[in-house]
Amino acid sequence: GQNIDQPTEMTATEGAIVQINCTYQTSGFNGLFWYQQHAGEAPTFLSYNVLDGLEEKGRFSSFLSRSKGYSYLLLKELQMKDSASYLCALPGGSYIPTFGRGTSLIVHP
Amino acid sequence: NAGVTQTPKFRVLKTGQSMTLLCAQDMNHEYMYWYRQDPGMGLRLIHYSVGEGTTAKGEVPDGYNVSRLKKQNFLLGLESAAPSQTSVYFCASSYPPAGKPTDTQYFGPGTRLTVL
């Protein structure tokens, strides 16, 4: 089975940096996904990590430590449009992903 | 490419009524999924399909049935709707399985269902 834990809600200021954590327990590791979901919309893919380390993609970076069962999403130069839910997901049996409950990020001016 | 589409977008049912949600994808994806999303609960997998003619149960399958008669379509049925099935339903697809590198799930826009 899998267990995924994320903070429920975070707030940050426009222009700042925020780190959203995801801790997990899994019997077999097949990578970790991050998705972004704006209110009333569908989730969209942000990143996929399968090896340890940091992967940078513009203002967004994702980090993975397999030995610690830990990942984080780092958002730099926050913009108001970054207000959304951020979902951590792990593929399990048959590579079917299980999602965490998501972290609601509120960016204020 | 339309990607993943869902019909209807909104629906209100009375307890005991039945309905079918349709998901269609034009990306030739093998895998398709149905999720429900409730406040504070994240996305929970109802059923999934790894190919035409196959279906499997997910985390919360009770009260739902599915069919995948054509590769591009995945239907979710509610035989006797209950208020506990009030939710937002998302369909998704991927090829190959979403656990492979660079392969992600593509989600439809969602169906907002209310059961009174």
Mean pLDDT by 10 residues, chain B (116 residues): 92 97 95 93 93 94 96 96 97 76 82 97
- In chain A, which residues have their Cβ closer than 8 Å to the Cβ of B105? 33, 43, 45, 97
Q: Which two tokens stand for residue B24?
A: 């269609």
- In chain B, which residues have their Cβ closer than 8 Å to the Cβ of A38? none
Helix (H) or strand (E) holding A66: none
Cβ distance B98 to A99 less than 8 Å, yes or no, reads no
Place of tokens 């430590």: A65
Partner A contacted by B5 (CB < 8 A): no
Give B103's contacts (C-beta < 8 A, 6+ positions apart). B94, B95, B96, B97
Q: What is the pLDDT of residues A9-54, one digit of tens each?
A: 999 999 999 999 999 998 888 889 999 999 999 999 999 999 999 9
Give B79's contacts (C-beta < 8 A, 6+ positions apart). B18, B63, B65
